[in-house]
Structures are given as C-alpha cells and as structure tokens.
Structure 1
Amino acid sequence: MDVRVGDTLLMKKPHPCGAKEFLVLRSGADFRIRCKGCGREVLVPRAKVERNIKQIIHSEPPAL
C-alpha cells in the first residue's frame, strides 16, 4: 500500500472522539497517526492500519 507521511487516512471505524480521518506522521513497520478530531497521536502496527483503511487522501501527487 502506498501510504506516505503527510497523507490523510479515512478509516472504516471511528476514533472514540468520533473522527474517521487520521494524519500520517511516520510510516515503517508501525504508523504514527494523529486523529484530526481530537489531536491524539497513536502508534499502530502497519498490518492493523492497512486492514482498516477505507481511503487514502494524498497530500501531493507523487514525484516522477
């Protein structure tokens, strides 16, 4: 999956605050994501995040 730092992820399930959008702060074996509703940062394993992504909103087009 092509997820880069700065992308916004629309998830299938909402965060407890009710927001479904998360900003990617770090990617690797784990993702550090920030909830766009309340601002809480969470470190989540890559497999769990990739399973729950509904849509990826890229911050800018990829460089060719």
Structure 2
Amino acid sequence: MDIQVGDRLEMRKPHPCGNHTFEVLRIGMDFRLRCVGCGREFLAPRLKIEKHIKAVHR
C-alpha cells in the first residue's frame, strides 16, 4: 500500500475521541499517527494499520 508522510488515513474504527481520521507522521515497520480530532500521537504496527484503513486522502 502506498502511504506517504502527511497523508490522512480514514480508519474503519474510531479513536476513543470519536474521530476516524489520522495524519501520518512517520513510516517504517511502525506508523506514527496523530489523531486529527484530539491531537494525540501514537505508534502502531504497520500490518495492523494497513488492515484497518478505509481510505487514504492526500
């Protein structure tokens, strides 16, 4: 899957704050994502993120 830094990912499941959109900050074996709604940053494994992506917005 072609994901780049700065892309916004729409996920199938929402963040606990209720938002479905996350911004990509870092790419590698793990993704560093920022929730667009509340601003929280977190690391998640690449396979888990790629499985739950609904759409990619550039």
TM-score (norm 2): 0.99
Show structure 1 runs of 4+ deviating over 2 A.
Answer: none
Q: Deviations over 1:11-38 (max 9, x none)?
A: 0000000000000000010000000000
- The corresponding residue for 2:40 is 40
Shift of 1:39: 0.3
Secondary structure of residue in 2 paired with 1:16? coil
Shift of 1:41: 0.2
Q: State which structure, 1 or 2, has the greater radius of gyration over its C-alpha atoms.
A: 1
Distance 1:2 1:42 in 2: 20
The percentage of counterpart residues that share the same residue type is 60
Alignment coverage as a number of residue pairs: 58
Query: When you count strand as a share of all residues, which structure comes out higher?
Result: 2
Runs of 5+ consecutive residues of structure 1 not aligned to the other structure: 59-64
- The corresponding residue for 2:55 is 55
TM-score (norm 1): 0.89
Q: Aligned-pair RMSD on alpha carbons?
A: 0.3
Runs of 5+ consecutive residues of structure 2 not aligned to the other structure: none
